[in-house]
Amino acid sequence: MSHKLTFALLIVTLFMAACGPAQTPAPTSVATQPPATEQPTAALQPTAAPITLTDGLGRTVTLTGPAQRVVSLAASNTEILFAVGAGAQVVGRDEASSYPEAVSSIPTVGGWSGFSSESIVALQPDLVLAGGINPPELVASLEQLGLTVYLLPNPVTLEEMYTNLETVGALTGHEADAAALVESLKGRVAAVDARIATVNTKPSVYYELDATDPVKPYTAGPGTFVDLLIQRAGGTNIGAQLQSQWAQISLEQLVVSNPDMIILGDSAYGETPEKVAARPGWETLSAVKEGKVYPFDDNLVSRPGPRLVDGLEALAKLLHPEVYK
C-alpha cells in the first residue's frame, strides 16, 4: 500500500509542477530559465560517431571517436598532425620528429634503433599513427598489445599527400582544418605551376643525398618526391636515369651528365659548396665552375607531409630565380 501512496503523491507533484506556470505566470523568469520538463534534453551531450577507415596495409581501423592521445611513429606524421591542428593531441613521437619546434617537449618512443613498446603503452594512446617507413611487423606487434594502430600510406604524388592530410584530420577531429590546409597548399602549388609555365629552359640538377664516398655518391632516382618536385619546379633530375629510387651515381656519370646545378640535400651533415669544389674530379663540373652549388633542407622534400610544398617553392626559386623577381 505504501508503494501505491508514494506513486500517487509523485503523480500529484508532477501534475502541479506542470500546471504551476499557467496558474502563476512569471514572464521575467521565462527568458532565462528553461521549463523543468526541458532540463533533461538540455543536459544531453552529443555522442561522437565511430570513425572507420582503411589504412595503408588494407586494414579496417575503427575509433570510437576522434583520437585524443596520439603517438606518432614517423616524422612526416608528426608534421601532419601539427599542420591539421592536432598538435596538442600528440603525446609521443619518434626520434626523427623535429618539426615544428614544439615537438621537442613531447616524449620519444624510439626510432632509429627500434621502438619501445613499453614506452608507447605507458602513454596510453587511443591511436598509434604509423607511416610507410614503419614495417608491418611493428604494426602487428603493437596491435597484439591491444593498441589501435593506423598506418598512413606513403604517398607518391602531391594529391596522395593531400589525402593523407584529410585522413589525419578525420582521425583526430580536425576535418575542417585539414580541408582548409589542403586548399591552401593547392593554391600555392598552382601559383608555382603558373610561374614555371612561362620558362623556356629546364636546368639539369644533381641532388645529393650522401657523399660519404665522393666517387660514388647517393642521389635521388626516379619515383621519389625529389624527382617529382625537381620536375615540377622546372628542372631535370639527372638521377632519373638510374634504376632505383635511392641510388649511387659514379663520378664518370656525373661528368658525362654535367649538371647545371648541384643541390646539397646532405648540407645538414656538413657538406658545403667549398667542400664539393675541393673533391678530386669535381672541379670540371659546370655547376662547380659557375658557383651553382646550393645547400638545401632535405626535410622539405624527403618527408611526405605539407612541407613538400615549401620544398617545391624553394626548388622553383633556385632553378628559376628569374620568374621570382
Q: What domains appear along the chain, each with residue ranges and CATH number?
A: 51-191 (3.40.50.1980), 200-324 (3.40.50.1980)
Tens digit of pLDDT per residue, the chain (325 long)? 333 333 333 333 333 333 333 343 333 333 333 334 344 444 445 567 899 999 999 999 999 999 999 999 999 999 999 999 999 999 999 999 999 999 999 999 999 889 999 999 999 999 999 999 999 999 999 999 999 999 999 999 999 999 999 999 999 999 999 999 999 999 999 999 999 999 999 999 999 999 999 999 999 999 999 999 999 999 999 999 999 999 999 999 999 999 999 999 999 999 999 999 999 999 999 999 999 999 999 999 999 999 999 999 999 999 999 999 9
- How far apart CA 154 and CA 93 sit, in angstroms, is 18
- How far apart CA 141 and CA 152 sit, in angstroms, is 17
Give the CB-side neighbour count of residue 180, counting CA atoms within 13 A. 7
Give the CB-side neighbour count of residue 151, counting CA atoms within 13 A. 18
- How far apart CA 192 and CA 204 sit, in angstroms, is 18
